[in-house]
Chains A and B, each alone.
Chain A
Amino acid sequence: MDALASLAQGFSVAMTPTNLLFVLIGVTLGQLIGALPGIGPSAGMALLLPVTFGLDPVTALVMLSGIMYGGMYGGTLTSVLVNVPGEAASVMTAVDGNQLARQGRAGQALAASAIGSFLAGIGAVTALVFLTPALSAFALGFSAPEYFLLALLGITATASMGTGSAVKAMIGATLGLMIALVGTDPIQGTSRLTFGSLELLEGVDFLPVAIGVFGIAEILVSMEQTQASAAVRTRLRDMWLTRKDWVECRMAMLRGGVIGFVIGLMPGAGPTVAALLAYVVEKKASPHPEKFGHGALDGVAAAESANNSAAHGAMVPMLALGIPGSASTAVLLAALVLLGIRPGPMLLTEQADLVWGLIASMFIGNVILLIMNLPLAPLFASVLRIPYSYLVPGILIVSLVGAYAISLSLFNVGLTLFFGMVGYLMIRADIPRAPLVLAVVLAPLMESSLRQSLMLSEGSAAIFVQRPLSAVLALLVIGSLALPLFNFMLARRAARRAGVAEALSHSSD
């Protein structure tokens, strides 16, 4: 009941004209950013973070979070109409959504996505309302060892639960930790790895890293070839589901929503993994799995419900513990810090208006997005006709102005370009970028809590397993490190079996 009373207070904060306007601005920007291939929600949030410097913290956060979940809706348009995922979490939508568009059913694909995203989004925010205070109250008992293990889990889980090579994801995280080491030691005040540079004494700001690694790097990749992808020419009519379509999709939306929320709660997994998993589960549960890959409406509904639900679910650990579970929530956490707010379990009590205003704004934002994606979808689809190359100068210049605005220093602008090049090389070398950004955000908490723990225990590592909670967290860290190894061994075993089977079939020939 307390949660509901707080939510009512949150609505009074979110419904002020200024906050409503910025929810609208945030979700519209998110919708556009999601729709544009080459720039994802985390990049968009990082690029636009400097714009929020003059705003009230609640207003800034409702706008930034609007970009985050708005991007999940927007990505559908490009996936369905162009067959290019607007952002990574829409990759499974592109598989079936574009097939449906080619069959003249783009309207149904977009409607299933919008309705699924909306229902899953509202369900996830409702769960967020009850789960966040409970987790936050539980986390008040955490001390330095738990914080160290939680931050470590955030990084190791991101690396092990990703879709690519776990070793490369760990390399990404290690690079992030190395970046975070530069500057002045937070405990002893000595300079580390600055190599005589005065500009580096205060360390590397998060924003040049995020803008460079996400924003500039994605633009560099998109510049490799002239953008010539054309949208499927289709009239966006019948933007609603028939009774038959609804019956086909409703369980997919429910399953996708639940899977998405649970995956979103886990550190590191995020909307992309949620969409992939929901699609695979739906294929198994569907009465017509043969349609998957050739235009399955329930496949689209499951993937889209899951990615939006995961985007909201990832807010739980960020708001309750101060631990971001995804790249987007890492940017949101950095925004909190830049706005002078200390994240952590005390956030909910110290900044109740901010947290509940933010949660209430998500209900409002999802309603606005439903309207944008049903009756207004053709309007947003028309944005896809603007040649991408006309948008590139604006994105790059705003990125660099944003980097300058952090500390009014050209050094940060140069740093942003440097990290843009690093991010580009990471994409091409197949090293995931989210672990790097998460590591940069979590490293200060990790290092200070590790050193505090060892100070308390006089150097004994037993402090990390002495309390039941820290022992569980330590086990989870070990589990997250062992998971890729386990998967690797399973894959090798499967490959060996396949090899034996093939050899046997050849010998019987």
Chain B
Amino acid sequence: MKATNFIIAAVLFGLSALALLGTWGLPYWADFAPGSAFAPFWVAAIGLVLAIALLVTTLADDGHEPHSFPDRRGIVRVAALTAGLWLMVLLIPLVGFMTAAIAFSLFLLLGIERRPLVPSLLTTAVVSGLVYGVFIAWLGIALPTGPFGL
């Protein structure tokens, strides 16, 4: 967990610096009231203090708590799902929301979960029907469509 804490402290330090530098040109105080940079300045300052506090407490901690990230197989499964989700989002403008969702569902069930074909097809059909029924037919939300009209 020590390494994880060092990374968190570094990321928080970076984000705080970004908030500070990103609003550097804005006024901290404008005439008679706090300006646009007032809140970012204080949030960034708190972030820096917390990053240092985490760093110090981690250095002072002599425990050896292991990190809680999964093993290699777990990481591969999570990475595959994340990649599938991003691919789905990228495919939506090209093939439409429903088609991309159907492709994603089959990829997840057959490709990652290695589930049998028929239940996977059935699940995909139920999910597609649910999304179509609730969001398109009932709520009237115009989801992006592709060449198949879906």
0/1 interface trace, chain B 8-43, chain A, CB 8 Å (1 if under): 100010011011001100100110111111111001
Q: Name the contact of A397 in the complex, choosing from B36, B113, B131 (C-beta under 8 A).
A: B131
Interface pair B34/A224, CB less than 8 Å apart:
no
- In the complex, are the beta carbons of B33 and A454 less than 8 A apart? yes
Cα distance A430–B1 when bound, in Å?
A: 9
Chain B residues positioned under 8 Å from A420 (CB to CB): 82, 85
A64 to chain B: which residues have CB within 8 Å?
A: none
Query: Mostly helix, strand, loop or mixed at chain B's interface?
Result: helix
Q: Quick one: closest A residue to B7, CB to CB? A: A429
With A174-B46, A398-B131: A192-B34 Cβ-Cβ less than 8 Å? no
Given the complex of chains A and B, what is the CA–CA distance between A220 and B86 in angstroms? 13
CA distance A332 to B36 in the complex (A): 29
Determine which of A170, A390, A392, A421 lies in contact with B50 in the assembled complex, contact meaning CB atoms within 8 Å. Answer: A170
B90-108: CB near A (< 8 Å → 1, else 0) gives: 0011000100010011001
Contact with B along A323-349 (1 / 0, CB 8 A): 000000000000000000000000000
A401, B131: Cβ atoms closer than 8 Å:
yes
Write the A263-281 contact mask toward B (1 if CB under 8 angstroms, else 0).
0000000000000000000
Beta-carbon nearest neighbor of B8 in chain A? A429
B33 pairs with A390, CB closer than 8 A: no
Closest residue on chain A to residue B56 by CB atoms: A167
Contact of B135 with A447 in the complex, beta carbons under 8 Å: no
User: Are A413's CB and B119's CB within 8 A?
Assistant: no
The CA-CA distance from A178 to B40 in the complex, in Å, is 7
Bound state CA distance, A393 and B107, in angstroms? 10
Interface size on A, residues (CB 8 A): 59
B89 touches A220 (CB 8 A): no
A223:B141 contact, CB within 8 angstroms: no
Q: Which residues of B contact A185 (CB under 8 A)?
A: 26, 36
CA distance A223 to B51 in the complex (A): 30
* A427 to chain B: closest residue by CB: B68
- Chain A residues near B26: list those with CB within 8 A: 185, 190, 192
In contact, B22 and A410 (Cβ under 8 angstroms):
no
* Contact (A181, B115) CB under 8 Å given A167-B50, A421-B82: no
Contacts A178-B43, A451-B34, A455-B33 given; does A225 touch B108 at CB 8 Å: no
Q: Is B143 within 8 A of A404, CB to CB?
A: yes
Minimum CB distance partner of A225 in chain B: B74
Task: List A contacts of B88 (CB < 8 A).
Answer: 400
Check: A102 CB closer than 8 A to any chain B CB.
Answer: no
Q: Is the CB of A413 within 8 A of B89?
A: yes
A408 and B141 within 8 A (CB): yes
User: Is B8 a contact of A193 with CB atoms below 8 Å?
Assistant: no
In angstroms, Cα B96 to Cα A130, docked, is 51
- The residue that B82 contacts in the complex, of A220, A225, A410, with Cβ under 8 A, is A220
Q: Is B109 within 8 A of A389, CB to CB?
A: yes
Q: Which residues of B contact A193 (CB under 8 A)?
A: 18-19, 22-23, 40
In residues 385-417 of chain A, which contact B (Cβ within 8 Å)?
387, 389-390, 392-394, 396-398, 400-401, 404-405, 408, 410, 413-414, 417
Indicate if the CB atoms of B32 and A455 lie closer than 8 Å. Answer: yes
Cβ of A51 < 8 Å from any Cβ of B?
A: yes
Q: A193-B23, A220-B78 are in contact. Are A458 and B32 (CB under 8 A)?
A: yes
Q: How many residues of B contact A (CB 8 A)?
A: 74
Q: Is there a chain B Cβ closer than 8 Å to A450's Cβ?
A: yes
Interface: B124 (CB within 8 A)? yes
CB A391 to nearest CB in B, in angstroms, measures: 8
Closest beta carbon of chain A to B141's beta carbon, Å: 5
Partner pick for B115 among A168, A389, A398, A417, CB 8 A cutoff: A389
Question: CB-nearest residue of chain A relative to B48?
Answer: A174
Q: How far is the CA of A390 from the CA of B150 in the complex (A)?
A: 23
A410-B93 CB under 8 A given contacts A181-B19, A404-B143: yes
Q: Is the CB of B139 within 8 A of A405?
A: yes
Q: Which of B75, B93, B97 has the most CB atoms of chain A within a 10 A radius of its CB?
A: B97
A397 touches B105 (CB 8 A): yes
Which chain B residues lie closer than 8 Å to A216 at the CB level? 85
Cβ < 8 Å to A, chain B residues 56-86: 57, 67-70, 73-75, 77-78, 81-82, 85-86
**Complex Cα gap A69–B80 (Å):** 34
B126 at the interface (CB under 8 A from A): yes
Residues of chain B within 8 A of A192, CB atoms compared = 22-23, 26, 36-37, 40
CB distance from A492 to the nearest CB of B (A): 10
- Which residues of the other chain, B, contact A450 by a CB distance below 8 angstroms? 34, 39
Question: Cβ of B123 < 8 Å from any Cβ of A?
Answer: yes
A177 contact from B5, B43, B77, Cβ within 8 A: B43
| Given A181-B40, A188-B36, A408-B142, CB of A393 within 8 Å of CB of B15 | no
| Distance A387 CA – B116 CA, assembled complex (angstroms) | 12
Q: Which of B1, B4, B7, B135: most chain A CB closer than 10 A? A: B135
B32, B35, B50, B138: residue with the most chain A Cβ atoms closer than 10 Å: B50
Assess whether B117 is interfacial by the CB under 8 Å rule.
no
Neighbour of A51 across the interface among B22, B81, B134, CB < 8 A: B134
Question: Which residues on A sit within 8 Å (CB–CB) of B32?
Answer: 455, 458
Quick check: A413 and B92 within 8 Å, CB to CB?
A: yes
B123 touches A220 (CB 8 A): no
Task: Enumerate chain B residues within 8 angstroms of A387, measured Cβ to Cβ.
Answer: 115
Given contacts A167-B50, A429-B8, 6 further A-B contacts (CB under 8 A): A171-B8, A178-B19, A223-B112, A225-B74, A397-B101, A401-B143
Interface residues, chain B, with chain A CB atoms under 8 Å away: 1, 4-5, 7-8, 12, 15-16, 18-19, 22-23, 26, 29-30, 32-40, 43, 46-47, 50-51, 53-54, 57, 67-70, 73-75, 77-78, 81-82, 85-86, 88-89, 92-93, 97, 101, 104-105, 108-109, 112-113, 115, 119, 123-124, 126-127, 130-131, 134-135, 138-144
Q: List 21 A-B contacts (CB under 8 A).
A: A50-B139, A54-B140, A171-B54, A175-B12, A178-B16, A187-B33, A187-B36, A190-B36, A192-B22, A193-B19, A193-B40, A220-B81, A387-B115, A393-B108, A394-B126, A404-B143, A408-B142, A413-B89, A417-B85, A451-B34, A458-B32
